[in-house]
Structures are given as structure tokens and as C-alpha cells.
């Protein structure tokens, strides 16, 4: 469904001296993989590993330096925004920052309806009401502004917006890392439920392997812009082949345990147990 | 908050004086009467009369009209041209934006008063040429502000989210950029209003702005300058009026700036 071939993205820093060439930052180096329909595909890596760059390239929000992104056989890269309508309808993104990704001057109903308005999909008012219910927000939330909601609720608004045009693929870029630990589990559960309910293909980006393990079935591990390991999430978690993955597996639970005593993943497994 | 109130009261007084002057003034502000020349403040003439025997209060009230008229047109011209230009420089193609920006910098270096004098020479001195010239000279400051704040908005995640929702260039500028920079633009309007009032006064003082017999605060100054030593009242009255108008609009702008800060807005709504 989504195919990434030899994808590279080089950012050029601004000149520090007129004599020296501009410094280059390789955010992604020669990354290739394929995401099949119906998968829950996790992308793991520490900050600076190129996760967000990868998401932007897949969502057609940035242009690669080299390589290709295809969605259902159609090239995503190298197209003007106007010719990306096929992608905009079928692939939607939930961003990391629940405050920054909602326009402070728009009412919630206009935020959720934005993909519908932009893509000229009729029946907006009914769809917004439907979506508010689906993400567990009160019906009168539409009249209010984003700053009147908590972080978790705002991420629900973000989810509702992403689901509005009935996409087939949902891309979530660190959807819970800006939230309180106590709220993370709720949002992750909601995300999982919605993905199941609407039979979505999920691309889930996180720095936390234990969270990916509970949400995804497949995982790709990124390090400094390179794909170091890819495979079934349980297998990667139990028998990591690459030393970096081993580090991630070992570090994640102990660090989280030390910092907060309980991880979001623990909270999910608690809910799933009974 | 205090700035907002003081600014609003001062601006409100000027607007009120201008509005009342349409219906009523104590005397005809243009009526010359040699018998009444240079009278001090009295029951009939609260602030006295000038050297032609015209009532000062009446002139001030009608002059407020000129002041507001000048401000509205000059700031209107500046905001209506400058804001879209700045947003375009930020959101449009990079090379075009770059050209707009450089042209803007050149304009910014050009003194407003000089432009107004040139306009006056080319199109004849009048209130209209003066305020259009002031407006055009103020365009760059609007364009610069609009570009800077538009760039900030364009870098936010909600613009990224809008793009992934399927919005393209113009819709993003209209739906997201303009509403989010509107507060700053309104503040700039208020501050520029004060500057325009001052510029009009200066031009009228030079004889390039409002022409007789239309009363204007700047002209009141000009007509009385020879009497500075003898009758300082004649200069103090319009001088104070100009100073209060500029102060009022500047304070109003400051107060509005606080008001329009979205972060503060969030606190207010919750509190």
C-alpha cells in the first residue's frame, strides 16, 4: 500500500561562512520498506533518528532528496499539493503536539471539518457530530476553542479531524509523547479501538519501543536516518538482531520504570487483562 | 489593561468631539471677527479665540474630524496594501517574496515626510494627498510585520495539519495566517494611527496638508507660530490635542497588544 524506496532527505544548514560550503544534515539515508494494507506499522527511534522526516515524506508534506514514495502505486513525491488529493483523502496524520497542531483561532467543529471543507466533501455538520461521539467528546465541544480543552481532549480533536475524510491510512507521529502519563493509555486505547473499528492501516511513530509493541504488529527501527531492523514486533522485541535495537529494548522499560514507576504500556496491559 | 482604558478614553473623546461637531459647535469655526481677536478664555469662548477671532474650541472639534479622517485613510491604505504584501512575501514563491522584501526595505528607508512633500508638489497640497502619501509611506512597516508574523504562523504544526487535510496556499493564508496575525495588525494600526496624526499635523504646519479654511490641528499650530511669545495658549491648545491623540492611539495599541496575545487569551477564558 505504502512503498518507500531508497528514500534520502538531506537538509542544508544556512551558511556559516561564505567560503565554506553549507553544512549538510542527513535526516534519512537510503531507507526502503513497504507497508501492507491492514498493518499496524510502528517506526521506532530516538529523537533525531529521522522519524518525523519519514512521516512528512510519506504524507507528502516534504520532498525527498532522493528516492521515491508511492501510495497505492501512485507517486507521492515530486507532486504539487494540488495533485495530491488522492493521498489527502486516504491518508491522514495525527501530529505530536496537541496544542500546536490545532489553530487557536478556529472553533473545534471547524477544525474537525477542515479536511471535509478542503476536499469538498458534503454533509459536514453530521460528520462532525458523528466524529465527536466516536472520539468520546461531548456534543457541544464543537462550539468551543482548542484552548478550552486538556491535552488529552485536544488529541481527541486531532484524531477526529484525521478520521473526518474516512481515510484508509492513519499516520500518528508520537501522538502521546506530549501527554501526561495518565492520559497516554486512554489515547492509545482510543487509537487502537478506532483503527480496529474503521479497519485502518496504521503508521505509528514513537521513541518508545514498549508502546509500539502494544499498538503495532510490525516495527521498523531507525537510527541516525538509517533503517537498522524491520520485522514482526514480538520477534524484534524478544530477539533483537541489531545491537541498537537491543539497547532500545533494554533501555526503554528500565528508564521509564525509574522515571515514572509505571509505563503507558503497563496501563494498557492492565486494561486488557480482565 | 490600564493602557487599554486610558487609550480608549482618549480616543473616545476625540471621536466624540468629532461626532458632536457634525451637529453642533459653540461657534462657526471659520467665522472671522476682528472684534473678537486674541481673546482669552471666557464663558463664551472656553479656550479663547485666535488672531482672526475664531473660536478655539470649535476649531478643535472640527479639527478632530480631520485628524480621524487622515488617520483612517492613511492607516487603511497602509494596512490594506501592506498586510497582503507581507503575507505574500512569506507564503508565496521564495524568489518573489525576496523581491518584495528588498523593495520593501528600500521603501522603509524613504522618509514619509519627503514622500508627502513630493506628492504635494506633484498632485497639489490637500488633506487627501497628504494622507495617501502617509499611507503609502507606512505600507512597509505593515508588510514587514505581516511577513514576520506570517512566517511564524506558517511554521506551526496547525498549518502542517491543514496541508495534510488538503488545504493549499491561498486557503491557508486566508483561513489560518490572516486570523492569527490579525491581532498584531490591529495593534500596528493603532500605533500607526498616532504616527499618521502627527505626520498630518507636521504637513499642515508646513502648508502641505489640510488647506484653509478647513480647520486642522496642524494648521492651528502653523497659523499661531508667530504669536508663540505673546499668546502661547494658541499653540499649547492644538499641541496638547495632538499629543493626547498620539498618546491615546499608542496606549490603545499597547493595550490591544496584551489583549490579542493568544496565550493570555487562554488564561482569561479559563479564569
Taking the CA of residue A54 and the nearest CA in chain B, the distance in Å comes to 14
> B53 lies in which domain range?
2-10+47-270
Please check whether residue B26 lies inside any domain of the structure: no
For chain A, helix (H) and strand (E) counts, in that order, are 10, 10
Asked if the model's pLDDT at residue A256 lies above 70, the reply is: no
Task: Choose from B152, B155, B166, B169 for mutation: most chain A CBs within 10 A.
Answer: B166
Angle at A241 between CA A238 and CA A247, to 5 degrees: 75
B94 touches chain A (CB under 8 A): no
What does each C-alpha distance from A91 to A72, A150, A164, B233 come to in angstroms? Answer: 11, 26, 11, 73
The mean pLDDT of A259-264, rounded to a whole number, is: 57
Interchain contact A82–B (C-beta under 8 A): yes
Identify the residue among A103, A116, A166 best suited for mutation to test binding to B, counting B beta carbons within 10 A and taking the highest: A103
Residue B176 and residue B204: Cα distance in Å, rounded? 41
Question: Mutate which of B165, B178, B268 to disrupt the A interface (most A C-beta within 10 Å)?
Answer: B165
The residue of chain A nearest to residue B175, with distances taken between CA atoms, is A106
**Whole-number percent of chain A with pLDDT over 70:** 91
Residue B189, domain CATH: 1.10.3720.10
User: Are A89 and A59 spatial neighbours (Cβ–Cβ below 8 Å)?
Assistant: no
DSSP characters for B134-203? HHHHHHHHHHHHHHHHHHHHHTSHHHHHHHHHT--HHHHIIIIIHHHHHHHHHHHHHHHHHHHHHHHHHH
Kindly state whether residue B201 falls inside one of the protein's structural domains: yes
Q: Which residues of B219-233 are buried (b: 16+ CB within 10 A; e: fewer)?
A: bbbbbbeeeeeebeb
Q: B225 lies in a domain?
A: yes
A133-149 mean pLDDT: 93
State residue A254's pLDDT score.
52
Q: What is the pLDDT of residue B267?
A: 46
Most confident of A168-177, A246-255, B14-23, B59-68: A168-177
d(CA A30, CA A33): 10
pLDDT in tens, A189-247: 999 999 999 999 999 999 888 889 889 999 999 999 999 999 999 898 888 888 888 88
In a domain, B205, yes or no: yes
How many angstroms separate the CA of residue B95 from the nearest CA in chain A?
A: 17
Tell me the pLDDT band of B9, cut-offs 50, 70 and 90: very high
Which residues on chain B are in Cβ contact (under 8 Å) with A128?
A: none
Q: For chain A, positions 206-235, list CB contacts with chain B under 8 A.
A: none
Query: How many whole angstroms separate alpha carbon B63 and alpha carbon B218?
Result: 9
Domain total of chain B: 1
Residue B80 lies in a domain: yes
Q: Are A65 and A87 in contact (CB under 8 A)?
A: no
Are residues B164 and A92, on separate chains, in Cβ contact within 8 Å? yes
* pLDDT value at residue A232: 93
Average pLDDT, chain B: 85
Distance CA A164, CA A161 (A): 5
- pLDDT at site A16: 76
Question: Could you read off the pLDDT of B87-108 as tens digits, one per residue?
Answer: 999 998 888 888 998 999 888 8
Helix segments in chain B, DSSP class H: 2-23, 56-91, 94-108, 112-123, 127-154, 157-165, 169-172, 178-205, 217-224, 233-260, 262-270
CATH of span A40-65+73-272: 3.40.50.300
The 10s digit of each residue's pLDDT in A109-140 is 999 999 999 999 999 999 999 999 999 999 99
Report the C-alpha gap between B191 and B180 in whole angstroms: 19
Q: Which of residues 89-128 of A touch B (CB under 8 A)?
A: 89, 92-93, 95-97, 100-106, 114-115, 118-119
- Contact by Cβ (8 Å): A158, A102: yes
Residue B70 in this model has a pLDDT that exceeds 90 = no
pLDDT confidence band for B263 (50 / 70 / 90)? low
Total-model pTM: 0.81
Does the distance separating the beta carbons of B269 and A148 come in below 8 Å?
yes
Q: Measure CB to CB from residue A119 to each of B166, B269, B270 and give the nearest one.
A: B166
B268 confidence band (pLDDT: 50, 70, 90): very low
Phi-psi region of A6 (alpha: psi -120 to 50; beta: other; left: phi over 0): left
Average pLDDT over residues B101-122: 86
Location of C-alpha cell 541489531 = A242
Would the pLDDT of B41 be above 80? no
Confidence (pLDDT) at A33 = 94
Counting residues of chain B whose pLDDT is more than 70, the rounded percentage is: 96
Counting every residue written for chain B, the total comes to 271
Which residue on chain A is closest to B180 by alpha carbon?
A105
Domain residue extents for chain A: 40-65+73-272
CA of A270 vs chain B CAs: smallest distance (Å): 33
pLDDT tens digits for range B128-183: 888 899 899 999 999 999 999 999 999 999 999 999 999 988 999 999 999 999 88
With contact defined as beta carbons under 8 Å apart, do A165 and A89 qualify? yes
Does a structural domain hold residue B54?
yes
Consecutive H or E run containing A155? helix A151-163
CA A22 to chain centre: 31
- Mean pLDDT in residue range A38-51: 90
Residue B271 confidence (pLDDT): 30
Q: How far is B157 from chain A (nearest CA, A)?
A: 4
Amino acid at each position: 500500500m505504502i512503498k518507500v524506496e531508497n528514500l534520502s532527505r538531506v537538509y542544508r544548514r544556512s551558511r556559516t561562512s561564505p567560503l565554506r560550503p553549507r553544512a549538510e544534515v542527513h535526516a534519512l539515508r537510503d531507507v526502503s520498506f513497504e507497508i501492507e494494507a491492514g498493518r499496524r506499522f510502528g517506526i521506532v527511534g530516538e529523537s533525531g533518528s529521522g522519524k518525523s522526516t519519514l512521516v512528512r515524506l510519506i504524507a507528502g508534506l516534504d520532498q525527498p532528496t532522493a528516492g521515491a514514495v508511492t501510495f497505492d502505486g501512485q507517486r507521492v513525491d515530486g507532486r504539487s499539493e494540488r495533485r495530491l488529493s488522492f493521498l489527502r483523502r486516504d491518508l491522514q496524520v495525527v501530529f505530536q503536539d496537541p496544542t500546536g497542531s490545532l489553530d487557536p483561532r478556529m472553533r473545534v467543529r471547524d477544525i474537525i471539518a477542515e479536511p471535509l471543507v478542503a476536499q469538498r466533501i458534503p454533509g459536514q455538520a453530521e460528520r462532525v457530530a458523528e466524529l465527536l461521539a466516536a472520539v468520546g467528546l461531548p456534543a457541544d465541544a464543537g462550539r468551543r476553542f482548542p484552548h478550552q480543552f486538556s491535552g488529552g481532549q485536544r488529541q481527541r480533536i486531532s484524531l477526529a479531524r484525521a478520521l473526518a475524510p474516512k481515510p484508509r491510512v492513519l499516520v500518528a507521529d508520537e501522538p502521546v509523547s506530549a501527554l501526561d502519563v495518565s492520559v497516554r493509555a486512554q489515547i492509545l486505547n482510543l487509537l487502537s479501538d478506532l483503527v480496529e473499528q474503521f479497519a485502518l492501516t496504521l503508521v505509528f511513530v514513537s521513541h518508545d519501543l514498549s508502546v509500539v509493541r502494544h499498538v503495532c504488529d510490525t516495527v521498523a527501527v531507525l537510527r541516525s536516518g538509517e533503517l537498522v531492523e524491520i520485522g514482526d514486533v514480538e520477534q524484534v522485541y524478544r530477539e533483537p538482531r541489531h545491537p541498537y535495537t537491543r539497547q532500545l529494548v533494554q533501555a526503554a522499560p528500565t528508564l521509564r520504570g525509574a522515571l515514572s514507576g509505571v509505563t503507558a504500556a503497563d496501563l494498557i496491559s492492565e486494561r486488557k487483562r480482565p | 489593561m490600564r493602557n487599554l482604558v486610558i487609550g480608549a478614553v482618549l480616543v473616545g473623546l476625540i471621536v466624540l468631539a468629532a461626532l458632536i461637531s457634525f451637529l453642533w459647535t459653540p461657534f462657526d469655526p471659520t467665522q472671522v471677527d476682528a472684534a473678537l481677536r486674541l481673546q482669552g478664555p471666557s464663558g463664551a469662548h472656553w479656550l479663547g479665540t485666535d488672531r482672526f477671532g475664531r473660536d478655539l474650541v470649535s476649531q478643535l472639534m472640527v479639527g478632530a474630524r480631520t485628524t480621524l479622517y487622515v488617520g483612517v485613510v492613511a492607516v487603511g491604505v497602509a494596512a490594506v496594501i501592506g498586510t497582503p504584501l507581507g503575507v505574500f512575501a512569506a507564503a508565496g514563491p521564495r524568489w518573489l517574496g525576496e523581491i518584495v522584501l528588498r523593495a520593501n526595505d528600500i521603501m522603509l528607508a524613504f522618509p514619509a515626510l519627503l514622500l508627502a512633500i513630493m506628492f504635494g508638489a506633484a498632485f497639489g497640497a490637500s488633506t487627501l494627498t497628504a494622507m495617501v502619501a502617509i499611507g503609502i509611506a507606512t505600507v512597509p512597516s505593515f508588510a514587514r510585520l505581516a511577513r514576520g508574523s506570517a512566517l511564524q504562523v506558517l511554521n506551526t504544526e496547525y498549518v502542517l495539519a491543514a496541508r495534510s487535510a488538503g488545504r493549499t496556499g491561498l486557503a491557508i493564508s486566508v483561513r489560518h495566517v490572516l486570523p492569527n496575525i490579525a491581532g498584531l495588525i490591529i495593534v500596528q494600526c493603532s500605533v500607526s494611527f498616532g504616527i499618521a496624526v502627527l505626520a498630518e499635523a507636521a504637513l499642515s504646519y508646513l502648508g502641505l496638508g489640510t488647506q484653509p479654511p478647513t480647520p486642522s490641528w496642524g494648521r492651528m499650530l502653523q497659523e499661531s507660530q508667530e504669536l508663540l511669545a505673546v499668546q502661547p495658549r494658541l499653540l499649547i491648545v492644538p499641541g496638547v490635542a495632538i499629543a493626547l491623540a498620539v498618546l491615546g492611539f499608542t496606549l490603545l495599541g499597547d493595550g490591544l497588544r496584551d489583549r490579542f496575545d493568544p496565550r493570555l487569551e487562554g488564561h482569561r477564558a479559563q479564569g
